[in-house]
Structures are given as structure tokens and as C-alpha cells.
RNA sequence: GGGCCCGUAGCUCAGCUCGGUAGAGCAUCUGGCUUUUAACCAGGUGGUCGUGGGUUCGAUUCCCACUGGGCCCGCCA
């Protein structure tokens, strides 16, 4: 049903004429956009383009085919009189969705449309499927994600989205490289998970006696061991996995780049992030201001700095740096936070969301967190209730998280012991005790700044998307029973 | 985990309120047309109406359950 008999007949017809519908290669000389952008240079010259036939308008002895390559579309103008015998057979057996090669002369049609006047037509891949209609295309969200290949054909802006995402990733790499960072790869499959609070995915390694292993929730502790070893500056493009619900800004697997720099503190990274984002936006969009969902976001440095514990105290009268246990319940009720287990961490976090998150449309450093929110962070100089940590927000989304890393091994052990107690009390997000990391840090870790830079969320901002799924090529989907028609049978 | 909305042809949708086994446009097929671009003109093909159950003489339509998706809320980045 999904496969069109007429297309199978075309394959037969082509083969009968000695034309292979699935050949090996084709010499492409240029792309659609290049021709259109530099038309006067190309006009009258011969080119070879290749791409998918997206529209086909036939009128007797002349056919117009809109050929789409990765740069865009260009019309090919095909007069039967200009074609050799083979090309005529290809044309007779061509349909929308086929991948074609067109060799011809760059020209304009009578109506002025920039075109390739075909001299030779080559079948590069005969489609068996029918493309979505040319007006509405493919808009059903589920169909778009499940069939991203069709989505890309029909909605070329999707490809642009992923190009921008890729550019941002390269930009971050370039900057970290230029600082002397060594790109490393650490285990995704881990014995123990840590470096964050989250439920892990588990798996089994059969040859190690069916040992239980975890997909990493963070690569932090491994990167710190490299710092302890003397690498000084290391980063990793890290796909992390957290076994939690997805929503518009969370996906169970997501990408962040973590970077550690010895002898620096979190102030260093505020400057770095300002440079990184502003230079990217300027380079990519030609301006420091971009539109996001009808709002203008201005990346001109310096970014706003929100000392949020102070600001929260001013607005709500609550000082989260020192909440007593008795206050937690009272605040949860008075502020209508609706927390089932109002511990200090969640109360403070909820108060931030309630009062301050809405103020972080523009790039904003939210800085200095209560120490109890930061088990891997050094206390703030001059205020032992706070820790030297910032989160960078853009468009009300957290896009980076940075600490002056905790390097005191005895204090670190204490923080781990506390986490272990939370874990035993039933907090299934608290990571397990990691003696290996503790023994590493006991060798002595230099003063170090660390940062995790989200890739997904900045990509959303730069491409004006409100769902993280739009910047992830293949978002996870529940499985559906395979229908027999899609199995490739006639 | 809770609430709301949705699933009909390859795609985009109508029909359901008020039950009588389906309709449009595009795609596809046949014919016509040598400058179209949502080409046009004429004719045709194409659907176990998400799945299962119930009510009914009869269900795409009403009811229930399940399933897949979207949005919002709660939680992690």
C-alpha cells in the first residue's frame, strides 16, 4: 500500500533500457543556493547538480522539476529536444521524490526563474514512496520525529536548525581549544554514577558476571581526576543520560560540554561565557540581538548578575542561606510551593522558580548558591553560607552551570557522607558513595573552575524553538507495533 | 504521576453534535499540452475511520478500556 506499483514498474522500465536506478556516484559541481546567489557568474555555464525532485510540472515536450539539494531548491528546465535517448527514458520514469542528477546550462526561464537548462538527466535513486503533499508538507509532530528523514526533505528549515546547533558546538570547541583545553572521552558506561543528582539508566555487562552498570549522568568526577593527574585543562562533549521525564526543556539523553580549568575560579568562566555567546551570536546572526519568541534577547556583554539569595530575601523576606528545619514546612505552605518533601534544597529551588526565574529572559548570571545546594563547590570567599557557583540563564532556561570546584578532600568526604545519608533515607537521586574519586582527590587537586555548558538549550534559543525535541534529531518515542505495510513488502 | 486536546487515503484536513459501513485538495495512474513554478484541462485508482470491547437492527459517529502523540502542571539541566 505504501509502496507504489507504478514506481516498481519504472524501475523495471529503466533496467530494461540499460539504466541502473541505483547507481554508484555522480559528479556534482555546485549547489542550488550557490547558483542562485551568484547567478550572473553562472549564467550560460554548464553545471551538474543533484538532489531530490520536489515538484514536477510537465506540459508536453517540456518539464520543470524543482531539484532540492542540501542548500535549497533550483528549477531545472527540461526540453525533450535537448535530451539524449537515455535522459528521455529517465524523464519518462521520473517522479516526485526521486533523486536526480541534472547536467545543463544555467539560464533563466521566460518568466525569469533561475534554472538549469537540462542537457542530461541521470536517475540517482528511484523512490518507492510518496512524498507528503507540497502545500502543507509534513506537519504532524509525531510523524516528523518518527520519520525525521521525511521531515528533513519537506521542511528544510529543520536542517538549518541542526546546522546552527552544529555551529554552536564547534564554536564552543574552538574556544576551549584556544584556551588549551584537551578534548577527552571518558566512560559513558560506568561502575558508579555521580557528579549530579539524578536517577540513572542501568544496564548489564554480561562478561563481567552480569555486573550492573550505569549510563553516566555526568562526566564530572572523571574530568576532575584528569585535573588531579595534571592535565590542567580538559573538556568533553558529553552525552549524559538521566532516567527522568521529558518535557519542553528536558530530554532523557542530552548534550553538554563540561570543561575544567586548573588555577581558575568561577569568575573566569563568567567572562568566558560572555565572550563565547556574544561572539557566536554576532558571527552567526550579524547582530548581538536576536529574536526569540517575539522577544529580543541581547547578548551584549556584560551579562546581568543576579545575587539571587539577596534578591530573594528582598522580594520574599526569606533568607534561604539559613532556613531552619521548622521553617521549611511553614514556607512550603505559606508560599504554596506544593512540595511533598520540603527539604532545604527543593524549597530554595522552588522559591527561585517562583520569584526570580521569570526575570532571566536576558542572559543573566544567577550566582552564589547556599552551600547545601552545592556538594562539589568551594564556599564563597567572605561568606561561608554561600558557595561560589553560578548558573547562566538565557530565555529563562539554565544553559550553563559553573563552580569554583571543591578541592578540600576532607570536606569533600564529609559532603559525600551526607549524600550517602540522604540516599539511605530514600532519596533515589542522590549518587552513591565514590571512594575511588575520594582517593583521587586526596592526592591533591589544584584550584580549579568547572563548567557544564548545555548544547541543546542554547540551540533552542538560537533557532527560536520552544521544544527541546526540535533540536534533537531523533527524540525518544514510545514504540508502536510495526505495521506490515511499512515492512517493504509489495 | 495529574488535567485538557487529538488519532479518518501517502500528506493536509472535513464528516461525528443529531448513528444508516466515508468526502475534498495535493500525491499517484491514463489522456492532452514545448516556459511552468500551488501549472492547467478531462477521466480513474486509492480507506479493516489508532486497537479492543459495549450499547444498537445497524457505530467513523454514542459509552468504556487500551494505545500513540501534543500542550499544560508536578520533578531533574
Distances (CA, A) of A411 to A377, A421, A433, A441: 10, 15, 14, 11
Taking only the tens place, the pLDDT of each residue in A47-98 is: 999 999 999 999 989 999 999 999 999 999 999 999 999 999 999 999 999 9
Nucleotide B57 C1' to residue A388 CA (A): 77
Place of cell 555555464: A45
Nucleotide B61 C1' to residue A174 CA (A): 60
Taking only the tens place, the pLDDT of each residue in A420-464 is: 887 777 677 778 888 999 999 999 999 999 999 999 999 999 999
**Range A37-69 burial, b when 16+ CB lie within 10 A, else e:** eeeeebeeeebbbbbbbbebeeeeeebbbbbbb
The C-alpha cell that represents A354 in the structure block: 517562583
Nucleotide whose C1' lies closest to the alpha carbon of residue A485:
B10
At A388, which helix (H) or strand (E)? strand A383-394
Taking only the tens place, the pLDDT of each residue in A134-143 is: 988 999 999 9
Nucleotide whose C1' lies closest to the alpha carbon of residue A144:
B69
Question: Cα–Cα distance between A193 and A209 in angstroms, integer?
Answer: 19
**Range A287-297 burial, b when 16+ CB lie within 10 A, else e:** eeebebeeeeb
The C-alpha cell that represents A430 in the structure block: 542522590
Nucleotide whose C1' lies closest to the alpha carbon of residue A429:
B76
Q: Where is average pLDDT lowest: A180-189, A432-441, A460-469?
A: A432-441
**Range A71-92 burial, b when 16+ CB lie within 10 A, else e:** bbbbbbbbeeebbeebbebbbe
The C-alpha cell that represents A108 in the structure block: 533563466
pLDDT tier at A481 (50, 70, 90 boundaries)? low
Nucleotide B22 C1' to residue A144 CA (A): 27
At A105, which helix (H) or strand (E)? strand A99-108
Nucleotide whose C1' lies closest to the alpha carbon of residue A198:
B76
Task: Give nucleotides in strand B with any atom < 7 A to a protein C-beta.
Answer: 1, 10-13, 25-30, 32-40, 46-48, 67-77
Is residue A395 within 8 A of residue A402, CB to CB? The reply is: no
The pTM of the whole model exceeds 0.80: yes
- pLDDT in the model for residue A2: 61
Nucleotide B16 C1' to residue A9 CA (A): 40
Taking only the tens place, the pLDDT of each residue in A291-323 is: 999 899 999 999 999 999 999 999 888 898 888
Is A234 strand, coil or helix? Answer: strand
Number of C-beta neighbours around residue A346 at 10 A:
16
- pLDDT in the model for residue A462: 96
Amino acid at each position: 500500500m505504501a509502496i507504489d506499483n507504478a514506481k516498481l514498474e519504472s524501475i523495471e522500465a529503466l533496467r530494461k533500457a540499460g539504466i541502473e536506478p541505483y547507481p554508484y556516484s555522480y559528479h556534482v559541481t555546485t549547489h542550488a543556493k550557490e547558483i542562485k546567489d551568484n547567478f550572473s557568474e553562472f549564467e550560460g555555464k554548464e553545471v551538474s547538480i543533484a538532489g531530490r525532485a520536489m515538484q514536477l510540472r510537465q506540459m508536453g515536450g517540456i518539464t520543470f522539476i524543482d531539484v532540492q539539494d542540501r542548500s535549497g531548491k533550483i528549477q531545472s528546465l527540461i526540453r525533450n529536444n535537448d535530451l539524449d535517448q537515455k535522459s528521455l527514458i529517465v524523464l519518462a520514469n521520473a517522479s516526485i521524490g526521486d533523486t536526480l542528477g541534472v547536467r545543463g546550462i544555467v539560464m533563466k526561464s521566460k518568466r525569469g526563474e533561475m534554472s538549469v537548462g537540462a542537457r542530461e538527466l541521470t536517475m540517482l535513486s528511484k523512490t518507492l514512496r510518496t512524498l507528503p503533499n507540497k502545500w502543507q508538507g509534513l506537519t504532524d509532530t509525531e510523524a516528523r520525529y518518527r520519520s525525521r528523514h521525511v521531515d528533513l526533505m519537506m521542511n528544510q528549515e529543520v536542517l538549518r536548525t541542526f546546522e546552527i546547533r552544529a555551529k554552536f558546538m564547534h564554536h564552543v570547541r574552538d574556544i576551549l581549544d584556544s584556551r588549551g583545553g584537551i578534548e577527552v572521552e571518558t566512560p559513558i558506561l560506568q561502575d558508579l554514577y555521580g557528579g549530579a543528582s539524578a536517577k540513572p539508566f542501568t544496564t548489564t555487562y554480561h562478561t563481567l558476571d552480569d555486573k550492573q552498570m550505569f549510563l553516566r549522568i555526568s562526566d564530572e568526577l572523571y574530568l576532575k581526576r584528569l585535573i588531579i593527574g595534571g592535565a590542567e585543562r580538559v573538556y568533553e562533549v558529553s552525552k549524559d543520560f538521566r532516567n527522568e521525564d521529558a518535557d519542553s526543556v528536558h530530554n532523557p539523553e542530552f548534550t553538554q560540554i563540561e570543561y575544567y580549568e586548573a588555577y581558575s575560579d568561577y569568575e573566569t568562566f563568567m567572562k568566558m561565557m560572555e565572550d563565547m555567546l556574544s561572539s557566536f551570536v554576532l558571527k552567526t546572526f550579524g547582530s548581538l540581538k536576536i529574536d526569540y519568541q517575539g522577544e529580543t534577547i541581547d547578548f551584549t556583554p556584560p551579562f546581568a548578575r543576579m545575587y539571587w539569595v539577596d534578591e530573594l530575601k528582598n522580594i520574599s523576606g526569606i533568607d534561604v542561606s539559613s532556613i531552619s528545619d521548622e521553617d521549611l514546612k511553614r514556607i512550603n505552605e505559606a508560599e504554596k510551593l506544593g512540595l511533598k518533601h520540603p527539604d532545604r534544597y527543593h524549597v530554595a529551588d522552588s522559591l527561585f522558580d517562583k520569584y526570580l526565574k521569570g526575570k532571566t529572559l536576558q542572559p543573566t548570571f544567577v550566582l552564589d548558591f547556599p552551600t547545601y545546594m552545592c556538594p562539589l563547590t568551594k564556599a564563597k570567599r567572605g561568606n561561608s553560607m554561600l558557595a561560589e557557583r553560578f548558573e547562566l540563564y538565557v530565555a529563562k532556561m539554565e544553559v550553563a552551570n559553573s563552580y569554583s570546584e571543591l578541592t578540600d578532600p576532607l570536606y569533600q568526604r564529609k559532603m559525600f557522607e551526607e549524600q550517602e545519608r540522604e540516599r539511605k533515607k530514600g532519596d533515589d537521586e542522590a549518587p552513591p558513595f565514590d571512594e575511588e574519586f575520594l582517593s583521587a582527590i586526596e592526592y591533591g587537586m589544584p584550584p580549579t573552575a568547572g563548567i557544564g555548558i548545555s548544547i541543546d538549550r542554547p540551540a533552542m534559543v538560537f533557532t527560536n524553538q520552544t521544544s527541546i525535541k526540535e533540536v534533537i534529531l531523533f527524540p525518544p518515542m514510545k514504540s508502536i507495533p510495526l505495521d506490515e505495510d511499512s515492512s517493504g513488502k509489495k
